Amino acid sequence: MAKYVGILTAGGDSPGLNAAIRGVVKASVGQYGMQIIGFRDGFRGLMQNRTIRLESHTVSGILTRGGTILGTSRDKPHQMPVGGEKMDMTDVMVDTYEQHNLDALVCLGGGGTQKNAYHLAQKGLNVVTLPKTIDNDVYGTDMTFGFDTALGIATDAIDRLHSTAHSHHRIIVVEIMGHNAGWLALGAGIAGGADVILIPEIPYSMDVVAEKIRRRQRRGSNFSIVAVSEGAHSSEDAKALAKARAKIDKAEKKPDRKKAKAELKELSASFKNHTLIVTEQLEAMTGLEARVTILGHLQRGGTPSAADRLLATRLGTRCAHFIQDEKYGVMVADRGERAVAVPLADIVGKRKTVPLDHSWIATARDIGVCLGDE
């Protein structure tokens, strides 16, 4: 008997989502005769039962399109904004699942989506997920689709900024997305020829960064490119964050834990404009004019790269096979040239950050890039 499958995209948009949807639908329908419905705008659409029928002809022509034809949102099943309050709407989503007699639900998203999907799996839903995010920080997979496209966009931006930095003898500071993982800034910084790369995994010293730029200046290079991950922190700020997190771990009573979490949130918010602060400090410490460019959501948009289309299609088609084999509660992960099933229980609560012994870090140091620590 043909299976009935639902599919949704959640979290931030990312290049390759449409390619993944297309892969799931074409393989599910073409290989196994499954019937697919898409839920609009992520878990909110699942709650509100807003659907679209997906067939092979429906997904024709979407391979090269950015974004997601289903729409997306960052709403969480157990903290859904409803009437000005946040409510646990998990049971409503379970009802929607059962109403459509679904055999499986496919969730495309990043780390938060993996966690939300696992929450639904614990409620009895047959869930399969696919890893997407431009940050490449989903645990358990070699690569997430969306990363390669964003890497190319960030690298191209750095390439373009070289000419103005050189012409005006400026320091150009480029903020690159990545939350608390430095994959995007590190990769784009190396590929784009940045002189300084600051990532969350390596707390930086402004004295070290400024000295690197002054040293370049003494050697006749009157410009520098500084690539900064949005989650990067100075050594002092990193110590303050570690202390705040330790306070949460040590809190035994619920009110104390709640207070400690609020303090951490307030501290984190105070670092929101850290790239602007870095720019101002470098200008003051080096005597060179400094300008900042924040790439922001520019990195999310546009046509997905060939690598992202290929990866998303590979994982999407493999997803169909897992559903047919009734392999549920898993994420379809990229491992070399294979797509494997990784239990969601092994992923939830974990983040894939850049290891300090990673070859990209070694490469950056070998070519003289300053990472802010030495």
Phi/psi at 135 (5° precision) = -80, -20
* CA–CA distance, 144 with 138 (Å, rounded to integer): 7
Amino acid at 44: R
Sequence-distant (≥ 6) Cβ neighbours of residue 131 within 8 angstroms: 109, 110, 114, 138, 140, 141, 144, 145, 315, 331, 332, 333, 334
Amino acid at 299: Q
* CA–CA distance, 318 with 311 (Å, rounded to integer): 11
Contact (CB, 8 A) for 213 and 225 = no
Task: Judge whether 135 counts as a catalytic residue.
Answer: yes
Angstrom CA distances, 88 to 34, 105, 119, 237, 345, stand at 31, 19, 11, 35, 21
* CA–CA distance, 155 with 158 (Å, rounded to integer): 5
> 306-324 and 147-168 are packed helices; what angle lies between their axes, rounded to 10 degrees?
160
Amino acid at 41: D
Catalytic residue among 103, 135, 237, 334: 135
Q: Which residues are catalytic?
A: 135
